Amino acid sequence: MDKFLLKRKASSQDVPEEINWEEEIQYDPGKRKLIEHYHPNLKDLVRRKYLLNGPCQPREIDFESSDFGGKQRKFNPEWFDEFESWLEYSEEKKRAYCFPCFLFRDRSQKKEAGYEAFVVNGWKSWNMKSRLKEHVGEVGSVHNQAMKKLLDFQKKDQHIDVAMQVQGETLKVAYFARLNAAIDTTRLLLKQGLPFRGHDESKNSHNRGNFLEVRDFLAEHDPVVRKAVGKDAAKNSLMSAPEVQKDIGEGFAHVIVQSILKEVRNNVFCLLVDESRDVSGKEQMAVALRYVDSSGDSKESFVGLVHVKETTSSYLKSSIDSLFAKYKLSYNQVRGQGYDGASNMRGQFNGLKSLIMRESSTAYYVHCFAHQLQLVVVAVVRKHKGVSNFFSMISTLLNVVGGSSKRRDMIRDINLEEMRKALGCGQLTTGTGLNQEQCLQRPGDTRWGSHAKTLKSLLHMFRSVVKVLEFVEEEDTDRTNRDQANGLLVYFQSFDFVFYLHLMLTILTTTNTLSLALQRKDQDIVNAMKCVKSTRIVLNELRENEWESMLGEVHVFCETHDIVELDMEEAYVNPKKRRQVTGITNKHHYQVDCFNDVFDWLVQELDNRFSETSTNLLVWSAALSPRDSFRDFNLENLMSLAKLYPQDFDSGELRDLDKDLRLYIADVRTDNSFFNIATITELSKKMVQTGRHIVYPLFYRLLKLVIVLPIATATVERCFSAMKLVKTCLRSRLNDDSLSDDLICYVEKEEMKKVTNAQVVEYFMARRNRTY
């Protein structure tokens, strides 16, 4: 506020714009500059500063003695009680002073008694206490005039400049109350991904939009905000304009990104990129960074959404260049790339992968593991006719049964009735979260894990689904629907359907577990490879050992739902060519041609799709694994791994790394705190916790290089899921910068919580050189 007053007064006269008050205002009267030496416009401000401190009256010090006629005399602190309102003592000069005379005696009163003694030089005649009473004098004395001026000065309502200061402080408080209310409102809307504006924001509107409605709600429950936005508030400073809302949202996004970049700035990272269209048809590119933070933990953070007019690799590269320039990042920091399998991304010569590797030769590309797993399942479904036919029938079922709200309601009602009967018979138990209302879930086009949920719901609601199909077959007026329902009933009451339902449910449950593990943000490449290998082992075990168990489940399901079972020892009859002699039994067909074939193709596709897990980079990285007391540690492999990163390890550091690795493994194998660590990310965090990252810096550098290698692009794909919630058909005109800012705040909720109002205020005020 003082700086504000100084700048305002300086506009008319030559006054310094800023004063260091800590140096200027001295509590000790012997160190003070006389009031008459200050600029006229500053005198009252200086007096006010001194009045805040009051007279200097030290009581506990050792007062210095002086010789008066052979007797030692000194200042008596009891005089402070007798002359409390004005007497001061200087430890610097060892003299007494008059506080009101210092503040209010002017040049015309210099010659009056006591000016030199009690204002300029100080008084020290300790043997003449009567001199203090003489200084006070009669009613009209100079001292009493100064005292009267002091009392009048303390009545603030008598001073125009003080009134202006009070008014300025009031306006300042109201301004920042409105600004903080706007920031709190924006914080809530950004966190929930809600729109800001309303169709009609006039005072007479019943719905003025989320921003104004939430801010008014805050005003109703906070008297400070209510007063600040009330009828007396300045109409041009209500902090509700669209530009204000945009700048505050931009402030939140700026603080979040800067917090992320603070961790990344001098570190290596991996680049995760994907593109998708928003609701308005614009192609958007999401960019995320994978890095190791100061605690040793792996992080994947979304840093921006960029509108791209083309999806060619060169255009994507130029867009990333612009983003890097904006955030002051360098390609020399990039040590990994993670994309899907599109040709513009992974092209050998002109793909985005190749273009970035020309900038940084150690920016190694890893195809998204989760995407490859989806391709494995898709390939098997397409290869096996029985499985392909099964999912075609499931798709037809969802169209028929879910084709109208009436049929969906029928499924719910029938399933509810079946549930009541089961509860009455004791077949089901009650409890929190159990026996919820169910309906057939439509699977996603690109996520085969969702097919597992569809099959589970079909397994539990089979009776309800059959009854709805029977209703459609008999009552529906559309012949196409009746024919489809008839075909579905025939298929769903066959052994083939039951067999493939249980087979694919077993497979999808297993692969979905792997898919979810690969999509975790804290997943690392070494553990991901182990997960893939473990899944392959599980699939082989299922092939060898699960046939009898699954066949038993199939027979139980058939008995429960009155479906004709097949004798496994009888000759297999091809349903499409019943007269054909197949020469095989039912057991051979279902176990060898179906069960074994599907599992064999799954394992074969896993090996083909994840062939890059056998590359040197990933094989050598496995030597970092801390499992089983660092069983996989291999000095030779780790040295070979370090040679793949010539930008990070020169020849001298490679020699030192060999010693570093030997000391490291001998140390951690004997330290109990490193037991039971399963992943390299846990190892990295433990090293930071124990200070080993400082003791073995070269090993820690190598560890970080492997941790930042990408596993899946789930983070950027989650950003597109969030984009559908933030930019809806009702917000289709949301501009690209605002969409990016809103998404950063919505996706990075953990960082959003750390952002303080003060940080947003600082950005907001500097954004357009605002003043209150």
Distance CA 657, CA 635 (A): 10
**Where do we find the tokens 């190791």?**
292
What pLDDT is attached to residue 548? Answer: 92
What is the share, in percent, of the chain residues with pLDDT greater than 70? 89
Within 13 A of 677's CA, how many CA atoms are on the CB side? 22
Report the alpha-carbon angle 400-401-402, nearest 5.
95
What is the reported pLDDT for 738?
94
Q: For 270, phi and psi rounded to 5 degrees?
A: -110, 145
Of 307-321, 458-472, 533-547, 642-656, minimum mean pLDDT range: 458-472
Give 650's Cβ-side CA count (13 Å radius): 1
Phi-psi category of residue 160: left, alpha or beta, with phi > 0 → left and psi -120 to 50 → alpha: alpha
For residue range 484-512, list pLDDT tens digits in order.
Answer: 889 999 999 999 999 999 999 999 988 88
Residues 625/632, Cβ–Cβ less than 8 Å: yes
Residue among 247, 240, 174, 327 at smallest CA distance from 768: 247
Total length of the chain? 772
Angle at CA of residue 266, ends 523 and 646, nearest 5°:
80
Q: Indicate the burial class of 186 (C-beta count within 10 angstroms; 0-12, 13-18, 19 or more).
A: buried
Q: What is the rounded distance in angstroms from the CA atom of residue 586 to the CA atom of residue 570?
A: 6
The vertex-439 CA angle with 486 and 747, nearest 5°, equals 135
**In the predicted structure, residue 616 carries a pLDDT above the cut 50:** yes
Rounded CA gap, 772 and 763, in Å? 14
> Which pLDDT does position 12 carry in this prediction?
38
- CA neighbor of 287 nearest in space, from 354, 362, 356, 192: 356
Say yes or no to pLDDT of 290 above 50. Answer: yes
d(CA 506, CA 500): 10
Q: Which residues pair with 301 in a beta bridge?
A: 289
Residue 432 has pLDDT above 50, yes or no: no
Q: Are 252 and 190 in contact (CB under 8 A)?
A: yes
Tell me what the mean pLDDT of segment 6-26 comes to: 57
Task: Compute the distance between CA of residue 217 and CA of residue 728 in angstroms, rounded to an integer.
Answer: 25
Between the alpha carbon of residue 552 and those of residues 168, 424, 498, 549, 565, the distances in Å are: 84, 27, 12, 5, 11
pLDDT reported for residue 20: 74
Q: How far is CA 80 from CA 89, 96, 126, 132, in A?
A: 9, 11, 14, 11
Residue 325 pLDDT class (50, 70, 90 cuts): very high
Backbone φ, ψ for residue 66 (5° rounding): -130, 155
Alpha carbon distance 462, 456 (integer Å): 10
Largest CA distance in the chain: 144
- What distance in Å separates the CA atoms of residue 197 and residue 244, rounded to the nearest whole number? 12
For 144-191, how does the pLDDT look when each residue is reduced to its tens digit (9 = 90+)? 888 888 888 877 545 555 555 655 677 888 888 999 999 999 999 999
pLDDT of residue 701: 94
DSSP structural state of residue 20: -
Rounded CA-CA distance 338/306 in Å is 17
pLDDT given for residue 33 in this prediction: 87
Indicate the DSSP class of residue 296: S
**Model-level pTM?**
0.71
pLDDT for the residue numbered 37: 83
For tokens 């694994």, the residue is 625
Average pLDDT of the chain to the nearest whole number: 85
Q: Angle CA(172)–CA(174)–CA(175) in degrees, nearest 5? A: 65
Residue, of 576 and 433, whose pLDDT is higher: 576
In terms of Cα–Cα distance, which of 428, 411, 406, 407 is closest to 419? Answer: 428
**660 touches 683 (CB < 8 A):** no
Asked if the model's pLDDT at residue 8 lies above 50, the reply is no
With a cut of 90, say whether residue 463 has pLDDT above it. no
Report for 164-173, 335-344, 422-431, 709-718: range of highest mean pLDDT:
709-718
Helix, strand or coil, per DSSP, at residue 70: coil
Question: Per residue in 219-275, pLDDT tens?
Answer: 999 998 888 888 767 777 888 899 999 999 999 999 999 999 999 988 999 999 999
Pairing mode, strands 65-68 and 71-74: antiparallel
